[in-house]
């Protein structure tokens, strides 16, 4: 099993290297090309949200293993403003910044497990897992 990695995000220029690093991690962990693409897309959406809404944060990736399954876990953490209404943020086409509003619901569809914890004024923590 590969060790966990943590990718810090401080500025928009950090996003592309983070997405490339995520793809490399998936390949090294034995993901199919398709799973690697889906996980990298999820990382791209999470990283863009961190930079856009929270300014700083990080993405962690690790391999996870249950009795029968092997997968990749992605955790996005920031100490930004938080999301006041998570139910609304998870709806297709809701965006507080006038963009598509498909990032979070898209991640939920692309990954197998998805959990979001967000507290106003404290930050947001999103865990997404894909069994590969
Ligand atoms: N890390 C975060 N911190 C605070 N608010 C967030 C964060 N991530 C998402 N949000 C809120 O949730 C909403 C929905 O996020 P989502 O990624 O689905 O859409 P978007 O970023 O607005 O548009 P798109 O991702 O399609 O460009 C955002 O508009 C924003 O209000
Ligand atoms: Mg987004």
CATH label of the domain that carries residue 126: 3.30.565.10
The predicted-structure confidence for 54-107, as pLDDT tens digits, reads as follows: 999 999 999 999 899 999 999 999 999 999 999 999 999 999 999 999 999 999
The predicted-structure confidence for 99-112, as pLDDT tens digits, reads as follows: 999 999 999 999 99
Nearest Cα neighbor of 4 from 56, 111, 77 is 77
d(CA 129, CA 24): 17
Its domain, for residue 43, covers 5-131
Q: What is the pLDDT, as a whole number, of residue 92? A: 98
- pTM confidence score: 0.98
- Residue located nearest, by CA, to atom 30 of ligand 1: 96
1 CA distance to ligand 1 middle (Å)? 32
The reply to whether ligand 1 has any atom less than 6 angstroms from the CB of 96 is yes
In the 8-state DSSP scheme, what is residue 9? E
Q: Which ligand is nearest to the CA of 119?
A: 1
d(CA 72, CA 27): 11
User: Which residues have CB less than 5 Å away from ligand 2 (the ion)?
Assistant: 49, 103
The domain tally of the chain equals 1
121 backbone dihedrals φ, ψ, rounded to 5°: 85, -5
């Amino acid at each position: 099993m590969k060790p966990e990695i943590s990718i810090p995000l401080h500025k928009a220029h950090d996003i592309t290297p983070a997405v490339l690093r995520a793809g490399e991690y998936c390949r090294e962990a034995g993901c199919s090309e398709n799973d690697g693409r889906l996980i990298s897309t999820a990382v791209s959406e999470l990283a863009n949200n961190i930079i856009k809404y929270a300014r700083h944060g990080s993405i962690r990736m690790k391999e996870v293993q249950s009795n029968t399954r092997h997968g990749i876990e992605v955790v996005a953490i920031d100490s930004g403003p938080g999301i006041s209404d998570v139910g609304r943020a998870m709806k297709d086409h809701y965006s507080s910044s006038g963009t598509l509003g498909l990032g979070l619901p898209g991640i939920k569809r692309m990954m197998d497990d998805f959990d979001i914890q967000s507290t106003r004024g404290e930050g947001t923590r999103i865990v997404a897992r894909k069994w590969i």
